[in-house]
Amino acid sequence: MRGNGRARKKALAMGICIFLCSGNTGCFPSQKGMEESQRGSYPETAVSEKKEQAELDFFAMNTYHTFSAYGSGVDTALEEARDRVLELEAKWSATEENSEIFQLNHGNGEVISLSCDTADIRNFTLEIAEKTDGALDPTLYPVLTAWGFTTKENQIPKAAELQTLLENTGWEKVSSEGNQVQIPEGMELDLGAVGKGYAGDEAAEILKEKGITSDLLNLGGNVQAIGSRPGGGSWRLGIRDPSGEGNIGILEVSDQAVVTSGNYERYFVGEDGNTYAHILDPSTGYPVKNGLMSVTVITKEGKKADALSTSLFVMGLEKAENFWRAHPDFDMILITEEDEIYLTEGIRKTFACEDPAMSKNIHIIEKGT
């Protein structure tokens, strides 16, 4: 992988790592084209038919993104995909004064008109909030701020402060009609748990419209693996070991979004010596601590993978299993503090532990059990 080293380091630190090489056959082509790297020099005519590769690194939505694509015209296609992500960020930022979300959050309870993009993600987020019985709750921003997760000045809030703040949360209090939305004064909407996934879908759509059928988009650890690797074969993604360095296993995917939520990256150690991470239990206002360290969701749509990875992390192992049995239209990998790995049956053949000795920690979640 070429490009900005800082961005690469950051992407690797996320839950999912992308394997660029796997033996001889898995290598991505060089910038000048795969066939050239395999066979040496080419006659002029063949050169123009070669596949191109391009990679674009950029910062958006508070994190580093790396987009790679293969095919002709990839450079401009990637730039358009990046611009779309930046356009969505400008609409959804909780801190940029011109964003729709900022205006809603500081609108003193007034009705606000939204663009179609924002109305769309609002509808989707509220739908998942309802479906997950409020495990996903996009109204926790003031509570996240009390913990310092929005300012990076972390502290443990007093229980009474959390109680007061929770009075102004609750996804059911968001009223929406068409492109209009209204939230009670004091409430703030936060699309942080879904925005990157939604943006990944939009970026992928742009590349598809341009006829590019092999690309790998990494939005701060949210991966959209479109088509298959150039030359064929599934993409190979490393699933990070949440309690150690490196990967716990490798997942093979094609045409899927793969998104991880966990408590092993964004956390702080409080004065009491305990660790507190950035995904909150909406019913208590406290960081989730239920024995899970990470949840990875694998499904077609990035927005769904993103929304569900956060929700299932909040639910914990048992509720997550039950949720999957009731809605088995995605796959997931749950990793516990004891390094136990729970996989849904759809990926039992496409996930393998890096260390074969760890395979004994794998448990398959089946529909009928």
CB nearer to ligand ADP: pick between 190 and 241: 190
Site for Mg ion in 164-193 (CB under 5 A): 193
CB of 32 to Mg ion, least distance (A): 37
CA dist 282 and 124 (Å) reads 18
CB nearer to ligand ADP: pick between 143 and 212: 143
Residue 27 phi, psi (nearest 5): -65, 140
Give me the 169-208 binding string for ligand ADP, x by CB under 6 A, dash otherwise.
---------------------x-xx---------------
CB of 268 to ligand ADP, least distance (A): 13
Q: What sign results for the dihedral spanned by CA atoms 25, 31, 36, 37?
A: negative
CB–CB of 226/204 below 8 Å? yes
- Is residue 282 at the binding interface for ligand ADP, with CB under 6 A as the rule? yes
Token code pair at residue 86: 């930046």
List the single partner that 173 binds among Mg ion, ligand ADP, none, CB under 5 to 8 Å by kind.
Answer: none
CA dist 369 and 356 (Å) reads 26
- Is residue 310 at the binding interface for ligand ADP, with CB under 6 A as the rule? yes
Of the residues 118, 310, 336, 344, which one makes contact with Mg ion according to CB under 5 A: 310
- Is residue 137 at the binding interface for Mg ion, with CB under 5 A as the rule? no
CB nearer to ligand ADP: pick between 144 and 347: 144
- Is residue 297 at the binding interface for Mg ion, with CB under 5 A as the rule? no
- Is residue 306 at the binding interface for Mg ion, with CB under 5 A as the rule? yes
CA dist 339 and 283 (Å) reads 27
Binding part of the chain for Mg ion, among 15-23, 148-156, 213-221, 300-308 by CB under 5 A, reads 300-308
**DSSP secondary structure string for all residues of 154-211:** -----HHHHHHHHTT--GGG-EEETTEEE--TT-----TTTHHHHHHHHHHHHHHHTT
Binding part of the chain for ligand ADP, among 39-47, 137-145, 158-166, 235-243 by CB under 6 A, reads 137-145
CB nearer to ligand ADP: pick between 17 and 54: 17
Q: Which phi-psi region, left, alpha or beta, contains residue 273 (left: φ > 0; alpha: ψ -120 to 50)?
A: left
CB nearer to ligand ADP: pick between 74 and 335: 335
Which residue is at the shortest CB distance from Mg ion?
310
CB–CB of 216/224 below 8 Å? yes
Site for ligand ADP in 203-242 (CB under 6 A): 221
Amino acid at 132: T
- Chain-centroid distance of CA 269 in Å reads 24
List the single partner that 82 binds among ligand ADP, Mg ion, none, CB under 5 to 8 Å by kind.
Answer: none
| Residue 33 exposed, middle or buried by CB count within 10 Å (0-12, 13-18, 19+) | buried
CA dist 101 and 109 (Å) reads 13
Using CB under 6 A, list all residues that contact ligand ADP. 136-138, 140, 144, 149, 190, 192-193, 221, 261, 266, 278-280, 282, 306, 309-310, 314
Using CB under 5 A, list all residues that contact Mg ion. 193, 306, 309-310
